[in-house]
Structure 1
Amino acid sequence: MNIRDPRFDEDSGREPPSADVLAGEYVLGVLDAGERRQAQLRIGADPAFARLVAAWELRLAAMLDTIEPVAVPAHVWPRIRTRLGWSPVEGGRPGVWQRVGFWRGMTAIAAAAALAAVFFGRVQPPPVPPAPPSVVMQPSEPAQPVTTLARDDGTPGWLAAIDAARGTLRIVPVPAPADAQGRVPELWLIPPGEAPRSLGLVSVDRTQLVVVPKTLLRALAKGATLAISLEPPGGAPQGVPTGPIIAKGGIEAI
């Protein structure tokens, strides 16, 4: 990236300073705003120039240790105090901003102004806070009956929350590893004395909502059984369980 030195005028015939000189001037802070901006752009675009700047910073940093501290002249602080309205010498007669009487007078004036404003109605009384909103109690929905589908060892494998009004089952699995043979769990609804009816595949690690077909809503009743079998990927091919039943539970309430 070619960044032209703004101090170089082609018509004047003056040569621009070398990169090393420009780097030194940048570190010393003697460039004007435009020149400094150009140098900063060059640092980001020219690695060689950036190294020159870093070298100058190291070179001049060593000189700081040789500079003796200079005490502030005695007349500086009195001038500052005078400009602030204070006494030039600490402990002398206080300026107007330091006088206790001044602040007491200002306080009295402010209090009188506040009283006058209230008297003439300029200050309105605080608004009456609005009445709290009335709370309308909504009737809570009845708790949905839950059927536990237990495994052979008695531990729960799935929970089924039954919503007969909507014809849905919310199936909540107790997380377990997937079948080693790649089989998938399938949910069955078994009415008393009837053949199992498939409700589709279910998950072993996430909750899902199962919509019961309208043709099976009558079977979703007390006394029916919910069961899980292991089936080939895609489900039982003939619509009847082909694998082992790994969990089941009877519907005791609707």
Structure 2
Amino acid sequence: DRERAALARQRAAPPAATTGWWGRLGFWRGATGAATLAAVLGGWVAVGVQQQGDARIAQLQTELQTQVASQKRIEYVAVLSDAQGQARGPEILVTFDAQHQRLTLQRVGGYQEASDKSLQLWALPPDGKPRSLGVLGEAPLLQLATAAEAVQAVPALAISLEPKGGVPGEGGPTGPVLFSGSLIRSLNL
């Protein structure tokens, strides 16, 4: 009977108090809830960061494509110098960007036409009949829209001195040819 009485006393006695925070059920429930919340927030932040990263990568790719598309691709180059053979050096540097179909002319010499005259650029094709590519303004840098077909297979360019506004019609240069040079295909395509 002693054993029964001891067992009955144990059952009737309140549970022994645990010592410290690790023995409290409320603490562990709170810790579990906090860990679950932290995991959910961490996953949400990770997805947001990844989406922002993907968006930034797409933006950078678009910017790079735009930059590449806007870069000049010089396909042809010409240095036009004195057509009469007087050693004055280069006067005009000509480049052709096939992608944007633009001729760029840069005055590098000191020649300046009179106010009542214009410089006119001519393509000198193999058949010998010059074709006008445009009238140059007085600016040191000029761009002319030109189709690739107008430049390809043209061995040389020339610039003539013409009345203000250039030669009317397709008759060819009427004034003296001041500058000329070979048009060569660039190696940096």
TM bucket (normalised to shorter chain) is 0.5 to 0.7
Which residue identity is paired with 1:224? P
Q: Is residue 187 of structure 1 aligned with residue 117 of structure 2?
A: no
Q: Quick one: distance in 1 between partners of 2:92 and 2:111?
A: 13
Q: Distance in 2 between matches of 1:194 and 1:230?
A: 19
Q: Which residue of 1 aligns with 2:152?
A: 221
1:246 aligns with 2:178: yes
What's the CA shift for 1:194? 1.4
- Per the alignment, residue 18 of structure 2 pairs with none
| Identical columns (%) | 26
The 5 A counterparts of 1:1-254 are 121=34, 127-128=45-46, 130-131=49-50, 132=53, 133-134=56-57, 136=61, 138=65, 140=68, 143-152=73-82, 153=87, 155-164=89-98, 167-174=101-108, 176=110, 178-180=112-114, 182-212=116-146, 218-237=149-168, 239-253=171-185
What do the CA deviations read for 1:133-179 (whole angstroms, capped 9, x no partner)?
A: 43546494572224223222363322222244664423333364522
The one-character-per-residue Cα deviations of 1:228-248 (angstroms, maximum 9, x if unpaired) are 111111212463212222222
Query: In proportion to residue count, which structure has more strand?
Result: 2
RMSD over equivalenced CA pairs, Å: 3.7
SS of the aligned residue for 2:105 comes to strand
Cα distance in 2 between the residues matched to 1:221 and 1:246: 23
Gaps of 5+ in 2: 1-29
Secondary structure of the residue aligned to 1:184 is strand
2: CA distance between counterparts of 1:158 and 1:204?
A: 12
How many positions carry a matched residue from both structures?
Answer: 134
Q: TM-score, normalised by structure 1?
A: 0.41
CA contact (8 A) 1:169 1:209 kept: yes
* Bigger RCO of structures 1 and 2 (CA < 8 A, at least 6 apart): 2
SS of the equivalent of 1:145 reads: strand
Structure of greater Rg: 1
Distance 1:156 1:130 in 2: 57
* Structure 1 residues not aligned, in runs of 5+: 1-117
